[in-house]
Every structure is written in C-alpha cells, then in structure tokens.
C-alpha cells in the first residue's frame, strides 16, 4: 500500500479583512461617532444649540468606553434624550469588544465565517467554535438580567425605602434607577443625580448611605468580573434539564412576580402612602428574590474544579482589593479632606467602596485631595483594571497575574511558568508580556502628548488623568474640565486605547500564530 501524504494549511486569522480585530475597533469607533453626532443636536442639550464636535465626541467616547470622564455636568447639561443616548452608548460599550462583535453577528442574522468565529472565540477565550454563539448569548443575557435586578434594588432603595429627595416622581425614580444600574454594571461612573438635592456631585451626597454603596459596589464588581469566571464559579443548571412540573412552577412564580411588580408601580402612581408602599414593596421584592433563587439553583464548585484562568482572576482581584483597602484606610484615615472627619462606620464603608470602585469612577469624596501615595496605588489599580472579557478596561487582571507569575519564575531560575499545579503555556506568557509592555509604552507616550498640548498642567494631576482614562476608571483629580481641545483629543485617544488596545494586541498575536519550521543558531546578549 502506497503512503498517503496529507497537507494541513496553517491557521491564520486575517488582520486586514472584514473579520480582523481592527474591523471591530472601527465599528465601535463608528458607534462613538454616531453618538457624538446625536449629542451635538439641540434636542440633546439644555441650551438647545449645536455643541462643539470635540466636546460631544469626548463625551461619547467616555460613555462608549465606560470611562465616565466628563466636561459638563451630565444632569444639568443633557436633556432626557441626551441621557438616553449616553445610556445606550454605555450599554453597548460595556458588553465588551468581543462580546459586542458577537452580538452584532446575532442581530444581523448572518453566519460568521470560520475566520470570524476564530477571532471572536479568541477574544472570548473559547476555542470551541460550536459554542461561541451560545456563549455570546449567555453573556448578553447575564448582562441584561443583572442590570434589571440592579435597577429594581436601586429603585426600591431610592424611591420607596429612603427617597433621596422630596418630590421625586415615579418616572424620575425609574429613570434614575435604570441609568445608575447601567452605569454601575458597565463600570462607567456616569450619574444623573441632582447635586443641589443629594448634597454634592457624583455620590458625595450619598457617602453615608451604606445600602446604596453596597448595591452599586456589587454591580461594579460583577461587571468587572468576566462571565467566564462567574460561570466557572457559579454553575447555573440548564432549563432543559428540569421537569415539566418545575418549569410550570417557575413560570407561574415569574408571572406572579411580574404582575405584582406592575401592580406595585400602578399603586405607587396613585398613592404616595410610603409606609404601606414599603410593606408592599418588601413583599414583591421577597417574591422576586424567591423566584430568582428557585429558577437559578446555584452550586458552588470546589476550588480544585475551577479552571486556572478563574483561579488567577479570583486571586488577582482579591489581592488588588486587599492592597487597595489597606492603602486607602492607612493613608486616608486621618485626612480631613477625604474621610478624616467621618465616623468609623463611614470610613470603612467608603474604603470598601473605593477599592471595589477602582474600575468604575464613582466618587464619594474629592479625589484631588487624596494622599499622593494613595494616588499612586490607585493608578496602579486602574492600570490593571478588571478581568478579561469584562466591562472593565486596563491590561486586565489575567494579564497582570501571568506577568507576575512569569517574573517570579524567571527570578527563581525556573524554565517553565507554573502555578496551582498547572503550567502556563509560553505563548500566553509572551502575549501577557507584549500587552504589558505595549500598554506601558502607550501610557508614557500619551502622558508626554498631554503635557505637550497642555504645558501648564500639574504633573501629578496630568499623570493621574491619563492613567484614569487608560483604565477607563473615570476618576479625575479636577483637571478634566480645564483641558483645552487638544488635550481633550489626547484623553479621547487614551480612553479608546485603554479600552481596545490590549485586547487588539492579544487578538493580533492570536491570529498570527504559526509554527516555525526554521530555527536559527542562538546567541546570548548582555542583559542588565
């Protein structure tokens, strides 16, 4: 029998065609441009005039990337239509670069090419081509469900249990809840609260409202943690596995909850007896929570059954939360300009919220008054950001952990990078190093560019603004509103770079992977 010769073509994802990562960046840029055009219309702003394209583009990019840096007060300057545009931009951008691309494939009803699915799968960290569609669908479904639940909790807190200002209408309460939930989950940091009624900008007037900070903090933490990590930790048993009787029970409870909530809203509109409304609201809330608990039976898996990626994300987030909390509490405890005059309970609450809030940008005090060392720690947390395929930006927790572990292995003289009884492939180490190095270089270039176009800017403040924009955290040391148009353009580029840059680099590297058939003689060079 004669031998059979097989030839397998090398897998390579195009970097120029319609399925390239850059096409996805272009699509999001186009959405940001459309958002800027809508915000420029007189119907979008309270002065009822056409606005500067640079200002509107800056705001659109800030919303699209989930940054939260603003040039004008969101509530005072934008109309209801303008706020709705911002909410849509935040939602689209928060789904993430690759998740948004998969979502576009769904709504167009087109079947993606093999190359396209490879690109999307690389971004979602799932190489099983047949599961990419369902994975993207689950991500979108999870995002919508979490934001709805968050809006309900915020509505109950702000409108029923403890109204944040007198005279809040039902429509105002609903819109405040929906907008804040979208902004919190997508780590955007935008808020539309009236400063004169809540006692200050951002969340400063609510700095002692522990339930509010807990709800928003939980939304931020969920959004900055990837669906893959959450799904690996919390197993939601499939609907198709349930018996018909169970399905009927769940559907019945769901229908009752929805109808009850509708009746609840109607009663609120007709009757402002808050005591009875609170009791009724608690009943509806309890019923809804019971339905959620029954419909989604959650089983916590054992640590050894978690994937290596999940373990690194959980450990990385835990370490970052610990560092941020310890740094904040030790440096700001006696700082009268931040939390020094607050009670112990308020100090601890704001410390936890500040640490969790490292990727969102909500503020309960003036960040320009923080201790210089704490600003540096905060900059580091913003630069790292959240988990891969989450609503947060930065170089990502996964990338940072691989860099740290690989560095420890190098200093220990190890040939391989191992952790938790598993070896990290060399290609992952190389990608992480490339992303970290390129991101650091980009930040240095952007810092230089900012001071070139805005020469009188305070150095410490300028560095903080750039890193905040790169990590799309949205915190400001007070300089954003004082920047000239050229500096605004630099910050816009920084926000886009931080949101899409690291992922784009990783996708390019994943798409260009190939087997090297020729090896050259090695030669040592001097290091250090």
DSSP code string of 358-405: GGT---SS-GGGS-HHHHHHHHHHHHH-S-TTSS--SS-HHHHHHHHH
Q: Residue 394 falls within a domain, yes or no? A: yes
Report pLDDT for 266.
Answer: 53
Looking only at the bridges linking them, the beta strands covering 418-419 and 298-300 are: unpaired
Q: What does the alpha-carbon distance between residue 390 and residue 223 come to, in Å, rounded to a whole number? A: 6
What is the chain's pLDDT, residue by residue, as a tens digit (528 residues)? 455 444 444 444 444 544 455 666 777 788 889 999 999 999 988 888 888 888 899 998 888 888 878 888 888 888 889 999 999 998 888 776 556 545 444 444 444 444 444 444 444 444 444 455 676 677 778 888 888 988 988 998 888 888 887 778 888 889 999 999 998 888 887 888 887 666 555 677 787 888 888 888 888 888 888 776 777 666 544 445 555 555 555 566 556 555 555 555 555 555 555 555 555 555 555 555 555 544 443 444 466 777 788 888 888 888 888 888 888 888 888 888 888 888 888 888 888 888 888 777 787 777 778 888 888 888 888 888 888 777 777 888 888 999 999 999 888 888 888 888 888 888 888 888 888 888 899 899 999 999 999 988 888 888 888 988 888 887 777 777 788 889 889 988 888 888 776 766 665 655 555 556 677 776 767 666
Q: Residue 494 falls within a domain, yes or no? A: yes
Give the domain extent around 403. 324-510
Q: Residue 479 falls within a domain, yes or no? A: yes
Report pLDDT for 298.
Answer: 40
Report pLDDT for 204.
Answer: 78
Report pLDDT for 366.
Answer: 76
Neighbours of 401 (CB within 10 A): 23
State how many domains the chain has. 1
Q: Residue 472 falls within a domain, yes or no? A: yes
Lookup: tokens for 257: 């909850």
Q: Residue 492 falls within a domain, yes or no? A: yes
Report pLDDT for 236.
Answer: 46
Residues 6+ apart with CB under 8 A from 304: none
Report pLDDT for 38.
Answer: 92
Q: Residue 452 falls within a domain, yes or no? A: yes
Q: Residue 50 falls within a domain, yes or no? A: no
Residues 6+ apart with CB under 8 A from 493: 446
Q: Residue 527 falls within a domain, yes or no? A: no
Cβ-defined contacts of 77-81 (< 8 Å, 24+): 77/45, 77/46, 77/47, 78/39, 78/44, 78/45, 78/46, 79/43, 79/44, 79/45, 79/46, 80/175, 81/43, 81/44
Give exposure, 476-487, as e/b (b: 16+ Cβ within 10 Å): bbebbeebeeeb
Q: How far, in Å, are 97, 218, 352 from residue 326 at the CA level?
A: 33, 19, 10
Give exposure, 58-68, as e/b (b: 16+ Cβ within 10 Å): bbbbbbbbbbb
Q: How far is CA 119 from the centre of its chain?
A: 21
Phi, psi of 5 (to 5 degrees): -105, 125
């Amino acid at each position: 029998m004669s031998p059979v010769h097989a030839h397998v073509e090398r897998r390579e994802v195009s970097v120029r065609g319609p399925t390239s990562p850059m096409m996805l960046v272009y699509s999001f840029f186009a959405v940001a441009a459309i958002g800027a055009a809508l915000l420029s219309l007189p119907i979008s702003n309270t002065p009822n005039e056409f606005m500067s394209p640079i200002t509107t583009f800056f705001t659109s990019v800030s919303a699209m990337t989930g940054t939260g840096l603003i040039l004008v007060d969101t509530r005072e300057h934008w109309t209801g239509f303008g706020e709705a545009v911002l909410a849509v931009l935040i939602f689209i951008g928060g789904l993430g670069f690759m998740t948004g691309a998969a979502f576009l494939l769904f709504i167009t009803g087109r079947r993606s090419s093999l190359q396209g699915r490879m690109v999307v799968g690389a971004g979602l960290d799932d190489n099983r081509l047949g599961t990419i569609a369902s994975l993207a669908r689950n991500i979108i479904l999870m995002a919508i469900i979490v934001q709805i639940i968050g809006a309900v909790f915020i509505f109950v807190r702000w409108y029923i249990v403890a109204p944040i200002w007198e005279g809040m209408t039902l429509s105002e309460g609903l819109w405040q809840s929906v907008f804040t939930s979208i902004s919190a989950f997508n780590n955007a940091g935008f808020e539309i609260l009236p400063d004169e009624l809540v006692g200050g900008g951002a969340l400063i007037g609510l700095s002692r409202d522990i339930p509010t900070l807990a709800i928003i903090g939980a939304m931020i933490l969920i959004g900055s943690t990837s669906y893959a990590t959450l799904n690996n930790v919390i197993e939601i048993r499939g609907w198709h596995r349930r018996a018909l009787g169970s399905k009927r029970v769940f559907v019945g409870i769901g229908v009752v909850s929805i109808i009850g909530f509708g009746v609840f809203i109607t009663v609120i509109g007709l009757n402002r007896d808050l005591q009875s409304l609170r009791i009724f609201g608690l009943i509806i809330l309890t019923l809804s929570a019971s339905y959620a608990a029954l419909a989604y039976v959650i089983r916590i898996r054992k640590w050894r059954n978690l994937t290596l990626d999940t373990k690194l994300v959980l450990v990385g987030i835990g370490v970052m939360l610990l560092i941020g909390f310890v740094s904040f509490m030790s440096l700001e405890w006696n700082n009268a300009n931040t939390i020094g005059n607050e009670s112990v309970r308020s100090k601890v609450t704001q410390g936890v919220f500040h640490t969790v809030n490292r990727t969102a940008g909500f503020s309960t005090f003036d960040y320009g008054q923080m201790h210089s060392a704490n600003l540096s720690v905060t900059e580091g947390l913003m630069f790292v950001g959240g988990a891969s395929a989450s609503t947060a930006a930065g170089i990502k927790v996964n990338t940072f952990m691989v860099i740290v572990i690989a560095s420890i292995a190098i200093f220990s003289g190890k040939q391989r990078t191992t952790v938790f009884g598993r070896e990290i492939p060399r290609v992952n180490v190389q990608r992480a190093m490339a992303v970290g190095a390129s991101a650091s270089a980009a930040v240095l270039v952007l810092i230089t560019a900012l001071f070139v176009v805005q020469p009188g800017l305070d150095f410490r403040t300028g560095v903080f603004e750039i890193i905040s924009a790169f990590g799309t955290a949205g915190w400001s040391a007070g300089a954003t509103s004082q920047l000239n148009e050229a500096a605004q353009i630099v910050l816009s580029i920084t926000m886009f770079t931080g949101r899409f840059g690291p992922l784009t680099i990783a996708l390019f590297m994943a798409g260009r992977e190939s087997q090297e058939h020729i090896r050259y003689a090695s030669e040592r060079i001097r290091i250090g």
